[in-house]
Amino acid sequence: MPIVQSIKTKAFYIFKCVLIPIGIWYAFVFHIELAELPPIIHNNFKQDCHDKGIRFEEYTVTTDDGYILSLYHIPGSGPPVLLVHGLSNSANCFILNQCARPPAFFLSDSGYDVWLGNMRGSHLSRGHTHLNSSNDDYWDWTMVELIRYDLISFIKFIKARTEYEKVALLGHSQGGSVILWALAQHPDMYSQYISIGILIGTPGAYINTQSLYIKLLLSDTFHFFSKIFSVNVISDWTDDLFLAKFIIRWPKVAKWICKDMLDMDFNKGTIEDLSVYIHRMRGGTSFKNIEFWTHIVNAKERNPLMYDYGKEGNLKRYNSIIPPRIDFSRVETKIAFFGGELDFAVIQSDSRILKESLNSEIVVFYNDTYHEDHGGFVFGCTMSYYNDLLEVLGKHSN
């Protein structure tokens, strides 16, 4: 009897400590997997354009260092405008808005010739002339390469296909940083091609972000585990829909997680909208690029040194043993700032420091009081800056 009792006790223990948790987990997953998703979540960029009766063209551009990038085009008769996406996004972020006209379509409606580039790292630009994206060497880049290779490759391609002398650039978040830093580091190369740089929710170099998500990406803990597990790509896109379904099933949790980048209660979008944004806006960026931004944030300088790759790496990237210092006073091209008073990622005081770092005569527009948060500039229901955007482009895009 004692032996039988012992077996029963162990069996009950296994049932209680192992089988019940497994059963609960499977029930949890099954509940999420049954969630119904909006059909648009399965679309791609081309299908979105087709569904709305919008012309669409796709090109590939090869950079001088071998990366093969996709470039989307919504043809128009007006001046060309190149839209540059944020840190780990893709061109999709400019067409996904479900409760207002998305920026790319809005500009197309207004007559502009709209171009959208997918920077290296985005899942829509994973080609290379001799490297595979599964190799470590493929991910050996930071924003330095976006500035030096990707942006200029897009601009030259567009210039060859338009009668206009210059291209207007509009960047959201890191996309705006790519534009501004390119104009600061290579003014002679870029100023001849760019009519105006429009910076939306754009960080400078002196950064005091209040976003918990960004603080996590910059944290020592995140970097430690990323290195332990040899992570090369951050916030990559996947065709798995579990996260989108989780958002549908657990809306309060999802809203809380996303709140400091995109507050759905404030922006008035639906939980179905959020599932579309979270699934389709992700593009991917290199872990080394996250290290680059960590260096910039920790430096706490208005004009910081670029990322230090060591003597050999610096010679390769900068033609100098010492990394160059970013000097925003070197920018010669007209700049327009659009910022939100509810933006936790890029707070108003940081935007004002960035503005003060530029020569005042090139800042043709500045407003950091839009009632928008960081994600609201692309996904918000009000898009309160649109009228000012058109006015700025009308004056300075040609």
CB 394 within 8 A of CB 363: no
Burial per residue of 72-83, b for 16 or more beta-carbon CB atoms within 10 angstroms, e otherwise: bbbebebbbbbb
393: helix, strand or coil: helix
Burial class (CB in 10 A: 0-12, 13-18, 19+), 266: middle
Dump pLDDT digits (tens) for 99-150.
999 999 999 999 999 999 999 999 999 999 999 999 999 999 999 999 999 9
Same domain, 241 and 383: yes
Same domain, 356 and 256: yes
CB 282 within 8 A of CB 72: no
Same domain, 11 and 72: no
Query: pLDDT above 70 covers what percent of the chain?
Result: 94
Same domain, 215 and 333: yes
Task: Give the number of other CB atoms < 10 A from CB of residue 240.
Answer: 9
CB 382 within 8 A of CB 371: yes
Would you state the pLDDT for residue 202? Answer: 95
CA distances from 72 to 155, 157, 268 (A): 13, 12, 29
**pLDDT tops 60 at residue 15:** no
The backbone torsions φ and ψ at residue 60, rounded to the nearest 5 degrees and listed phi first, read: -120, 140
Task: Give the number of other CB atoms < 10 A from CB of residue 210.
Answer: 13
* Best mean pLDDT range from 19-28, 231-240, 286-295, 296-305: 286-295
**pLDDT tops 60 at residue 1:** no
Same domain, 143 and 22: no
Same domain, 16 and 117: no
Query: pLDDT above 90 covers what percent of the chain?
Result: 78
pLDDT tier for residue 4 given thresholds of 50, 70 and 90: low
CB 152 within 8 A of CB 189: yes
Cβ-proximal residues to 234 (8 Å cutoff; 6+ apart), any chain = 88, 217, 226, 284, 285, 286, 287, 289, 290
Same domain, 133 and 22: no
pTM (two decimals): 0.92
CB 373 within 8 A of CB 347: no
**pLDDT tops 90 at residue 49:** yes
Residue 22 belongs to what domain range?
A: 1-34
**pLDDT tops 90 at residue 266:** no
Dump pLDDT digits (tens) for 66-77.
999 999 999 999
Average pLDDT over residues 261-265: 82
Would you state the pLDDT for residue 16? Answer: 60
**pLDDT tops 90 at residue 307:** no
Would you state the pLDDT for residue 18? Answer: 64
Instruction: Report the CATH number at residue 246.
Output: 3.40.50.1820
Same domain, 29 and 89: no
Same domain, 199 and 264: yes
The structure tokens 């230090």 sit at 308
**pLDDT tops 80 at residue 278:** yes
**pLDDT tops 80 at residue 19:** no
Compute the residue count for the chain: 398
Nearest to 385 by CA among 338, 334, 349: 338
**pLDDT tops 60 at residue 350:** yes
pLDDT tier for residue 304 given thresholds of 50, 70 and 90: confident
Average pLDDT over residues 156-178: 96
Same domain, 317 and 369: yes
- The DSSP call for residue 300 is -
Cα(156)–Cα(144) distance, integer angstroms: 18
Same domain, 100 and 8: no
Cα(142)–Cα(164) distance, integer angstroms: 31
Would you state the pLDDT for residue 21? Answer: 74
pLDDT tier for residue 259 given thresholds of 50, 70 and 90: confident
Burial per residue of 297-318, b for 16 or more beta-carbon CB atoms within 10 angstroms, e otherwise: beeeebbbebbebeeeebeebb
* Beta-ladder partners of 196: 168, 334
Average pLDDT over residues 282-293: 95
Would you state the pLDDT for residue 93? Answer: 96
Total structural domains within the chain: 2
No. of H helices and E strands in the chain?
19, 11
Average pLDDT over residues 327-353: 96
Average pLDDT over residues 149-174: 97
pLDDT tier for residue 5 given thresholds of 50, 70 and 90: low
286 against 5, higher pLDDT: 286
Dihedral class, residue 188 (left if φ above 0, else alpha if ψ from -120 to 50, else beta)? alpha
Cα(101)–Cα(82) distance, integer angstroms: 18
CB 117 within 8 A of CB 71: yes
Would you state the pLDDT for residue 264? Answer: 79
**pLDDT tops 60 at residue 369:** yes
Same domain, 16 and 110: no
Tell me what the pLDDT averaged over the chain comes to.
92
